[in-house]
Amino acid sequence: MTLCSVTMTLCSERDELVSQLSVMNVHVQQLTARESDAYQQVKACIELAEQSQLDMSQVGLMYFISLLSSLNVFVTVYVSKEQHCHATD
């Protein structure tokens, strides 16, 4: 085997390895993009779920405040009637 043929073989093998490395880099970039897309989708779902929980909490709080307000009206009316009854006795 001559030096020239060894050099040609090494160059050919190097070119093949560079080509395979290029293909692998493209594959890694595709996987990275897919992972990024999946991450963004999961992130969006979590944000949506958190917003939904916050909305439900606010609705619950508003319902509770409404109940307290109704109870306050009821107590005020009841006390007013009681005072009226005691005033007429």
Range of the domain at 76: 56-89
User: Is the residue at 8 inside a domain?
Assistant: no
What's the pLDDT tens digit per position in 5-48?
989 999 999 999 999 999 999 999 999 999 999 999 999 999 99
The total of structural domains in the chain comes to 1
What pLDDT is attached to residue 89?
62
In a domain, 61, yes or no: yes
Q: Is residue 33 part of a domain?
A: no
- Per-residue pLDDT of 41-85, as tens digits, reads 999 999 999 999 999 899 888 988 888 888 888 888 777 877 777
pLDDT of the residue at 14: 96
Residue 12 included in any domain: no
Each residue's pLDDT tens digit, 58-68: 988 898 888 88
Note whether residue 62 is domain-resident: yes
Examine residue 13 and state whether it is found in any structural domain, yes or no: no
State the DSSP string of 9-73. HHHHHHHHHHHHHHHHHHHHHHHHHHHHHHHHHHHHHHHHHHHHHHHHHHHHHHHHHHHHHHHHH
Residue 44 placed within a domain = no
Q: Is residue 39 assigned to a domain?
A: no
